[in-house]
Amino acid sequence: MNQANQIRLGLIVNPIAGMGGSVGLHGTDGDTYLQAAALGAVPIAHRRAGRAVRFLADSIPGLPVIAGAGCMGEDTARQAGLLPIVVPIQSDPTTSSDTRAVAARMVEEGVGLIAFAGGDGTARDIVDVVSTEVPVVGIPTGVKMHSAVFGNTPEAAGAMAARYLATPDQVPLTQREVLDAGDEPGRVAGFSVASVPFVRDHLQPGKAITAPGDDADLDQLCKKLADRMMPDQIYVLGPGTTVARILDHLDLEGTLAGVDVVRDRRIIAPNVTATALVDLLAPGTPATIYLGVIGGQGFLLGRGNQQISPEAISRVGEENVIILAGEEKLRFLDPPVLRVDTGVETTRPVMLGYRRVHTAPGRSTVMKVVT
């Protein structure tokens, strides 16, 4: 396909997306990014978006791009070697109104695909404007990414977009749900439908809830784990309803959407930040991390639990990371793998390989963990 006939890409980057993850916040809507910055969070969206856009630029040299001005996409495109047409923005810092306005302009300009870097809130803003008129691909950058419009990783998002732009007649479009989740697991603040290029093993599924048939087994397992907690040992409990059962059996009220630290059967650090967690895990301190699995998606790390960083896992030791999930939840994963996407670029990603997943007292299965 020559450049004159190429489909134009629309690129939108939410520059504050994901800032709240490492500091225990559940998004960056409104002025929450100011709180995140005060807690030491730094922007991550441009870097993660760059990983996807570099893949696109390498795959389709000279790709025509329309991008939001400056930090909303222009900078990312230029650093990848692309020369974008720039859509002006009105606010500094940017707001959801800018996201919607840029998306509307892209529809007017006739883009064939919008790639956006953000989380569920960004996805909802864009899809509320474009509906299913323009296909979208989400570059996973936010704190919560339960919507079924994101690539499994930034590179996967770039690959999906590149394949569709290069051969649109060979990549089917599918209708996928956009869930703008609330602060607590299971609560949804909004719902819409997007058109997304379907590339198997690149596009993450939607989030599913724990299957009812898993309840009794998980409850017995978590009671056993609570009863066996050792004094003076640190226990890091990831977010979600599965791991929350351990706190229930300790008669403790935790942070359902956050990460809590328990010692001597009491919470010593509720909704802990990534930095504070690493500080608590001093070398030589015995510690265990309990992680759940996101139903439907299989994510172990990188979706809503960015506080548990690779450095924290390194200090605890991968052998002391205990994975909990119901058998039915695992059975419905397609493909049957677990995933990590911590956002930390490293030559040795954590937790990859084959890992034991505990499903009931005395019962477990082995699952492959991939990026």
In this structure, what are the phi and psi dihedrals at residue 76, rounded to the nearest 5 degrees? -65, -45
Stretch 111-123: mean pLDDT, rounded? Answer: 95
Q: 0.85 exceeded by the pTM?
A: no
Please check whether residue 286 lies inside any domain of the structure.
Answer: yes
* 330 in Cβ contact with 359 (< 8 Å): yes
pLDDT tier at 257, thresholds 50, 70, 90: confident
Q: How many CA atoms lie within 13 A of 99 on its CB side?
A: 27
Q: What is the pLDDT of residue 1?
A: 44
Q: What is the pLDDT of residue 30?
A: 60
- pLDDT tens sequence across 228-252: 999 999 999 999 999 999 999 999 9
- pLDDT tens sequence across 63-76: 999 999 999 999 99
Please check whether residue 207 lies inside any domain of the structure.
Answer: no
Q: What is the pLDDT of residue 2?
A: 47
Do residues 229 and 137 share a domain? no
Burial class (CB in 10 A: 0-12, 13-18, 19+), 232: exposed
Stretch 10-29: mean pLDDT, rounded? Answer: 75
Please check whether residue 203 lies inside any domain of the structure.
Answer: no
Do residues 21 and 142 share a domain? yes
pLDDT tier at 90, thresholds 50, 70, 90: confident
Do residues 229 and 115 share a domain? no
Do residues 176 and 259 share a domain? no
Residue 211 has pLDDT above 90, yes or no: no
Q: Which of 139, 169, 197 is the last residue of a domain?
A: 197
Do residues 328 and 361 share a domain? yes
Q: Which of 197, 232, 259 is the last residue of a domain?
A: 197
Structural domain of 337: 212-370
Q: What is the pLDDT of residue 303?
A: 87
Do residues 50 and 185 share a domain? yes
Higher pLDDT, 284 or 352: 352
Please check whether residue 88 lies inside any domain of the structure.
Answer: yes
* 8-22, 28-42, 247-261: the lowest-pLDDT one: 28-42
- Indicate the number of domains in the chain: 2
Q: What is the pLDDT of residue 357?
A: 97
Please check whether residue 332 lies inside any domain of the structure.
Answer: yes
Higher pLDDT, 143 or 345: 143
Stretch 141-161: mean pLDDT, rounded? Answer: 91
Do residues 220 and 193 share a domain? no
Q: What is the pLDDT of residue 32?
A: 65
pLDDT tier at 190, thresholds 50, 70, 90: low
Please check whether residue 202 lies inside any domain of the structure.
Answer: no
CATH of the domain at 18: 3.40.50
Do residues 225 and 164 share a domain? no
Do residues 89 and 231 share a domain? no
Do residues 343 and 229 share a domain? yes
Mean pLDDT in the chain? Answer: 89
3-state secondary structure 49-118: HHHHHHHHHHHCCCCCEEEECHHHEHHHHHHCCCCCEEECCCCCCCCHHHHHHHHHHHHHHCCCEEEEEE
Q: Which of 141, 174, 197 is the last residue of a domain?
A: 197
Q: What is the pLDDT of residue 285?
A: 87
Residue 5 has pLDDT above 90, yes or no: no
* Residue 358: Cβ within 10 Å count: 20
- Adjacency order of strands within the sheet including 299-301: 266-269, 260-263, 234-237, 287-291, 321-324, 353-360, 363-370, 337-340, 299-301
Residue 343 has pLDDT above 80, yes or no: no
Stretch 3-31: mean pLDDT, rounded? Answer: 73
Please check whether residue 336 lies inside any domain of the structure.
Answer: yes
The top-scoring range by mean pLDDT among 14-18, 149-153, 212-216, 348-352 is 149-153
Do residues 190 and 240 share a domain? no
Do residues 26 and 78 share a domain? yes
Residue 271 has pLDDT above 90, yes or no: yes
In this structure, what are the phi and psi dihedrals at residue 348, rounded to the nearest 5 degrees? -135, 85
Q: What is the pLDDT of residue 92?
A: 78
Residue 136 has pLDDT above 70, yes or no: yes
Please check whether residue 204 lies inside any domain of the structure.
Answer: no
pLDDT tier at 79, thresholds 50, 70, 90: very high
- What share of the chain in percent tops pLDDT 70? 86
Q: What is the pLDDT of residue 150?
A: 96
Residue 35 has pLDDT above 80, yes or no: no
Q: What is the pLDDT of residue 4?
A: 45
pLDDT tier at 214, thresholds 50, 70, 90: confident
pLDDT tier at 200, thresholds 50, 70, 90: confident
